[in-house]
Structures are given as structure tokens and as C-alpha cells.
């Protein structure tokens, strides 16, 4: 895949969309073949590969006991990017969580929790985004936000792989589709 590629993985339930994404993350080993990043097998790259990758799984990956701000700061900090409370607050404001950023995440709705994980995309500067069922429980406003985020990411030379049932059309129609058969 070249920089600026947007790949949408579709397929029936159980066709292996999530498995494909987890293989691309290196969480799962492929039964055959290998995943290369910049020409090197990701298994020999090890942790270095994770500096260029952001994964949002279908489980949100946020802690219920932490507030949205804390969740964001911790996941950015673990990714090697330290952000202060204000930077976190601004990112959460952009995903529409202004005023809800200091309550424990368990009090947020499903869609709001999804937005917290979306905010991670704003604070990291990775080249490869792997998004699994990112649109689930998001409203129209948030979906258009995802669209514009991915658009900007691609313009900056990033790569996005999205597994989803719903079509995610970008304004300029840049999209490659991969349909998985069962």
C-alpha cells in the first residue's frame, strides 16, 4: 500500500475482517504469508512498528474508571507522546465531548466512549491507522468527523485501513475496497 491509500475492508460477519486487522497489527500471526512495513517483516521490526501504527479495536480500549482526559493522556503517553490536560481537553472538544471530559468513562454513552477512542487519532502522529468497526454506535456528526479525519490523514501521506459494514465515502471518492469472502 502506498502513502495516501484508504482501504475499506468489507465482508459478511465472520469473514475475517477483524482477524485481518489483528494480523496487520501483529497481534495475530498469519497462517501463511507475512506482513511487511517499509519492506521489513513486522515481526523483525518488533516494537518499532508500533511507533507508526494506531489501532482502534471494536472493544474501545478505554478504562471505565478513568475520565476521558485521563484515558487520552495515558494512551498518548504510552504511545510516546506526552500531552497535558489542555491538549487532551482540546482534542476531546473536537470530537464533541466538551463538558463531558472529566466524568468517569463508565458514565458516558456507547457513542461517547467511541468518540474518546477517536480522539486518540487527533493526538498521535502515526502513519498507519487500523480502525475496526469504527462507525458502530456513532451518529451522523461523528461519522462525518471520522470522514474528515481520514481525509486529512490521507492528505498528509497516511494510510488508513478500515473494517466496516457501512460504506465510508470520502468526498473525493478515494477508496479501495477489499471484499472478504467467507
Partner 1 sequence: MLRWVVWRDLILAWRRRADALSTLFFFVIVVSLFPLGIGPETELLRSIAPGVVWVAALLASMLSLGRLFANDYQDGTLEQLMMTPQPLYLIVLGKVVAQWLTSELPLVCIAPLLGVQFGLSNQTLGVLVVTLLLGTPVLSLIGSIGAALTLGLRSSSVLVSILVLPLYIPVLIFGAGAVEATIIGMPATSHLYLLSAVFVLALIFAPWATAAALKISME
CB of 143 to partner 1, least distance (A): 21
CB of 35 to partner 1, least distance (A): 14
Residue closer to partner 1 (CB basis): 66 or 175:
66
Q: Work out whether 64 is an interface residue with partner 1 (CB under 8 A).
A: yes
Q: Work out whether 16 is an interface residue with partner 1 (CB under 8 A).
A: no
Q: Work out whether 129 is an interface residue with partner 1 (CB under 8 A).
A: no
Q: Work out whether 98 is an interface residue with partner 1 (CB under 8 A).
A: no
Please identify which residue in the block is written with the cell numbers 460504506: 167
CB of 121 to partner 1, least distance (A): 13
Strand order in the sheet with 128-132: 53-56, 128-132, 159-163, 6-11, 176-180
CB of 36 to partner 1, least distance (A): 18
Pick from 51, 109, 125, 148 the residue near partner 1 by CB under 8 A: 51
Angstrom distance (rounded) from CA 35 to CA 61:
24
Q: Are 58 and 27 in contact (CB under 8 A)?
A: no
Please identify which residue in the block is written with the cell numbers 460477519: 13
Site for partner 1 in 68-87 (CB under 8 A): 70, 74-75, 77-80
Residues 6+ apart with CB under 8 A from 88: 68, 69, 72, 73, 76, 101, 119, 123
CB of 140 to partner 1, least distance (A): 25
Residue closer to partner 1 (CB basis): 37 or 55:
55
Binding site for partner 1 (CB under 8 A): 25-29, 47-48, 50-51, 53, 55, 57-66, 70, 74-75, 77-80, 104
Amino acid at each position: 500500500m502506498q502513502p495516501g491509500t484508504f482501504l475499506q475492508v468489507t465482508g459478511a460477519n465472520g469473514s475475517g475482517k477483524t482477524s485481518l486487522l489483528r494480523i496487520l497489527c501483529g497481534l495475530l500471526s498469519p497462517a501463511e504469508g507475512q506482513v511487511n512495513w517499509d519492506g521489513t517483516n513486522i515481526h523483525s521490526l518488533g516494537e518499532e512498528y508500533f511507533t507508526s501504527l494506531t489501532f482502534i479495536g471494536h472493544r474501545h480500549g478505554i478504562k471505565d474508571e478513568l475520565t476521558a482526559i485521563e484515558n487520552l493522556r495515558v494512551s498518548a503517553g504510552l504511545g510516546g507522546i506526552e500531552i497535558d490536560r489542555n491538549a487532551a481537553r482540546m482534542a476531546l472538544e473536537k470530537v464533541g465531548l466538551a463538558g463531558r471530559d472529566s466524568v468517569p468513562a463508565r458514565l458516558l454513552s456507547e457513542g461517547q466512549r467511541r468518540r474518546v477512542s477517536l480522539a486518540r487519532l487527533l493526538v498521535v502522529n502515526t502513519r498507519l491507522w487500523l480502525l475496526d468497526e469504527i462507525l458502530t454506535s456513532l451518529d451522523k456528526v461523528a461519522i462525518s468527523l471520522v470522514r474528515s479525519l481520514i481525509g486529512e490523514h490521507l492528505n498528509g501521506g497516511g494510510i488508513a485501513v478500515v473494517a466496516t459494514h457501512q460504506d465510508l465515502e470520502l468526498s473525493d471518492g478515494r477508496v479501495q475496497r477489499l471484499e472478504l469472502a467467507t
